[in-house]
């Protein structure tokens, strides 16, 4: 048996998962694009705060707060905002999501779970207040973001 | 002595606070507009999840998660995204913020603090898993949002 069958099953399961979530949330595809971009932009602002703190005067509380905000995004179930078809601009909502995203569910899951893991780890590290440890973990989180951007986000 | 002097001092302090934050974060005014809209949209998605849960099958974990995301936004120090001048569209970033926002710092603070309080209270109530209590607190949070929209957001 080739690998195609398990992949097809995984894809079908994922599609089902997405579809049921779409129905549960009652979101239109354009709303999904809007909300996921909002989530990433809210996260980007908080990434910027940590970057600024690492490059300037390290502010433990500000870093811990920003790490918490990033983790809130990572833990918010963003998979529900990626229904099939949302790799196209819809109405006024533009997306750079590549179609490959829907063809590699296992890879997407792996990348998403690593992002989640690194974001939650940053919360723990930030609580320690150790600037060096934050710098290291922040870089790991950045790599996790980049892994998805490089594979699934158009230039 | 009239009320004008204390008000002027309060406004000057707030302006100073905003200015120093702007410098610390290194954000351009258009980035402030972008990020604050992102934060509210990320929040709106999570408000929608709770609304959906209250109107359908109440999912304690989903509601608690969404309440946490809303509180993360409320606690993220969004005041830093409201520098004077950001009541105008800048570049591609459009805003509906009314100029009144910068003329009533005490009122803004009161509304902002109430929003913060209601969002954090929702986290506690959501942890209890009591759907009725969530409904009551969710309405209070909605009123807190509305208080700002009605006073400072253009139609």
Per-residue pLDDT of A96-143, as tens digits, reads: 999 999 999 999 999 999 999 999 999 999 999 999 999 999 999 999
Bridge partners, residue A93, by sequence: A90
A69, pLDDT greater than 80: yes
Mean pLDDT of A26-53: 97
Q: Is the pLDDT of residue B81 over 80?
A: yes
Cα B67 to Cα B86: distance, rounded to the nearest angstrom: 28
pLDDT of B145:
98
Q: Is the pLDDT of residue A68 over 60?
A: yes
**Contact between chains at A38 and B45 (C-beta distance less than 8 A):** yes
Q: Are B42 and A24 within 8 A, CB to CB?
A: no
Q: Determine the Cα–Cα distance for residues B51 and B70; give it in Å rounded to an integer.
A: 13
pLDDT at A2 over 60: no
Whole-angstrom distance, CA of residue A103 vs CA of residue A97 = 12
The pLDDT mean for chain B works out to: 90
Average pLDDT, integer, range B54-73: 97
A42/B39 touch (CB, cutoff 8 Å), yes or no? yes
- Residue B13 confidence (pLDDT) above 90: no
- Say if A73 is an interface residue toward chain B (CB within 8 Å): yes
Q: In A13-36, which positions are buried (b, 16+ CB within 10 angstroms) versus exposed (e)?
A: ebeeebeebbebbebebebbbbbb
User: What are B109-133's pLDDT values in tens digits?
Assistant: 999 999 999 999 999 999 999 999 9
pLDDT at A78 over 90: yes
Phi, psi values for residue B96, rounded to 5°: -110, 10
CA B43 to chain centre: 9
Average pLDDT over residues B79-103: 97
Burial of B129 (0-12, 13-18, 19+ CB in 10 A): middle
Considering only residues A116 and A6, tell me which one the structure prediction assigns the higher pLDDT. A116
- Orientation of helix B105-128 relative to helix B4-25, angle to 10°: 60
pLDDT at B105 exceeding the cut of 90: yes
Rounded mean pLDDT of A45-54? Answer: 98
**Interchain CB contact of A33 with B (< 8 Å):** no
pLDDT of A23 higher than 50:
no
User: Could you write out the DSSP letters of every residue in A78-89?
Assistant: GGGG--TTTTS-
| Facing residue for B72 by CB, picked from A25, A40, A69 | A69
For B21, nearest residue in chain A (alpha carbons): A49
B3: which DSSP letter? S
State the pLDDT at residue A26.
85
CB pairs under 8 A between A and B: 82
User: What was the pLDDT predicted at A12?
Assistant: 52
- Look at B34 and A49 and tell me if their CB atoms are within 8 Å: no
* Chain B residues touching residue A62 (CB < 8 angstroms): 77
Residues B46, A77: C-beta atoms closer than 8 Å: no
Q: Longest C-alpha distance within chain A, in Å?
A: 58
Distance (Å, rounded) from C-alpha B81 to C-alpha A21? 33
Judged against a pLDDT cut of 80, whether residue A70 lies above it is answered with yes
B15 has a pLDDT exceeding 80: no
Predicted pLDDT at B9:
52
pLDDT of residue B26: 85
DSSP A154: -
Listed residue (B23, B26, B63, B31) closest to B47, CA to CA: B63
pLDDT at B109: 97
Summary mean pLDDT of chain A: 90
Q: Count CB atoms within 10 A of the CB of residue A44.
A: 17
Nearest to B93 by CA among B31, B26, B28: B31
Query: Is B15:A19 a contact under the CB 8 Å cutoff?
Result: no
């Amino acid at each position: 048996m080739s690998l195609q069958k398990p992949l097809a099953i995984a894809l079908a399961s994922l599609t089902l998962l997405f579809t049921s979530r779409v129905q549960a949330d009652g979101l239109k595809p354009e709303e999904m694009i809007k909300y996921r971009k909002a989530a990433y932009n809210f996260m980007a602002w908080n990434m910027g705060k940590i970057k600024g703190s690492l490059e300037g005067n390290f502010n433990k509380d500000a870093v811990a707060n920003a790490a918490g905000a990033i983790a809130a995004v990572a833990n918010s179930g963003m998979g529900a905002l990626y229904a099939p078809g949302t790799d196209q601009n819809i109405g006024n909502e533009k997306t750079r999501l590549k179609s490959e995203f829907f063809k590699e569910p296992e890879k997407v899951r792996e990348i998403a779970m690593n992002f989640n893991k690194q974001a939650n780890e940053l919360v723990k590290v930030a609580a320690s207040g150790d600037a060096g440890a934050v710098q290291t973990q922040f870089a790991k989180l950045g790599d996790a973001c980049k892994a998805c951007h490089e594979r699934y986000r158009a230039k």
